[in-house]
Amino acid sequence: MTERLIDEVVLVTGAARGIGRAVAEKAAAEGAAVGLIDVLAGELARTTAELRATGARVAAVVGDITDENAVAKAVGELSSELGPATVLVNNAGKNAYADATRMTVAEWDSVFDVDLKGAWLMARQVLPSMIENRHGAIVNIASIHSSLTTAGMFPYAAAKSGLVGMTRSLALDVGPHNVRVNAVSPGYIATDLLEEFFTTFPAEREHALDVHPLGRIGTPADVAEVVCFLASRAAAFVTGANWAVDGGLGVRSA
């Protein structure tokens, strides 16, 4: 425990479970007050209670990041309880398994709404106070699919590549205000989402271990460590980057 995030107010989307929950736990352990947003009311209440039991300063709002009014309401409520956000972790996301020739526009929009637009809506809401205070960091959880992808996952790679592109744009635009924006690109991380992927592509379950240079798949805590580093002053000169947390999978050619 280094207390790297003491005095920070860290908002995490998709915080009820998986990587988002691990980020919230790590940020709290590093001294931050944490604000949690998720659509899963029951899991969010459980996660919030378990975090509070550790002595963490935590507030939570059930909210959908794809809905601009819900985003404004959630950020407003969390700010009045914890103070203005100094760190935003755009973690909420979902996989896609569409066929490009049959996918409907509504299905396309539902992927981009969560994996790309929601991150912008959240950033739009928190950036004014970060800019005013000349202090802030945003970490966008992209994916290894921002540079490599798997057949049958259309248009997840497009949305996650867009998120990395948005990271670059924002990093340039808000850098002069001392606000940093980075992306983290996980590979295979053991969560409910990965279970869904393995259920969709059963052969991948065996294959996954073999292709990782580190010989294992990752844990949510592996990702949370890097996210909290990038959010902290220890990464004061890092912005616009896309950090892989993939056990070396992304540098392997065969």
Residue closer to ligand NAI by CB (options 31, 36) is 36
91, 69 in Cβ contact below 8 A?
A: no
CA distances from residue 243 to 185, 214, 246 in whole angstroms, order as listed? 6, 17, 9
For 245, the token pair is 């947390």
71, 35 in Cβ contact below 8 A?
A: no
**Residue 46 CB, nearest approach to ligand NAI (Å):** 11
Q: Coil, helix or strand for 189?
A: strand
When asked if residue 193 is in the footprint of ligand NAI (CB under 6 A), the reply is yes
Length of the chain, in residues: 254
The binder of ligand NAI chosen from 86, 167, 191, 239 (CB under 6 A): 191
Cα 226 to chain centroid, rounded: 11
CA dist 90 and 24 (Å) reads: 12
Site residues for ligand NAI, window 225-254 (CB under 6 A)?
none
**Residue 7 CB, nearest approach to ligand NAI (Å):** 26
From 33, 121, 108, select the one nearest 70 (Cα to Cα).
121
The binder of ligand NAI chosen from 161, 186, 227, 242 (CB under 6 A): 186
Cis peptide bond N-terminal to 186, omega within 30:
no
Strands (E), the chain: 9-13, 33-38, 58-62, 87-90, 136-141, 179-186, 242-245
The binder of ligand NAI chosen from 120, 154, 188, 243 (CB under 6 A): 188
Residue closer to ligand NAI by CB (options 173, 196) is 196
**Residue 42 CB, nearest approach to ligand NAI (Å):** 11
The binder of ligand NAI chosen from 4, 8, 18, 212 (CB under 6 A): 18
Site residues for ligand NAI, window 22-81 (CB under 6 A)?
37-40, 64-66
**Residue 189 CB, nearest approach to ligand NAI (Å):** 4
**Residue 65 CB, nearest approach to ligand NAI (Å):** 4
User: What DSSP string describes 37-56?
Assistant: EES-HHHHHHHHHHHHHTT-
User: Would you give the binding string for ligand NAI spanning residues 112-141, x where CB under 6 A is met?
Assistant: --x---x----------------------x
Instruction: Show which residues are catalytic.
Output: 156
Binding site for ligand NAI (CB under 6 A): 13-14, 16-20, 37-40, 64-66, 91-94, 114, 118, 141, 143-144, 186, 188-189, 191-194
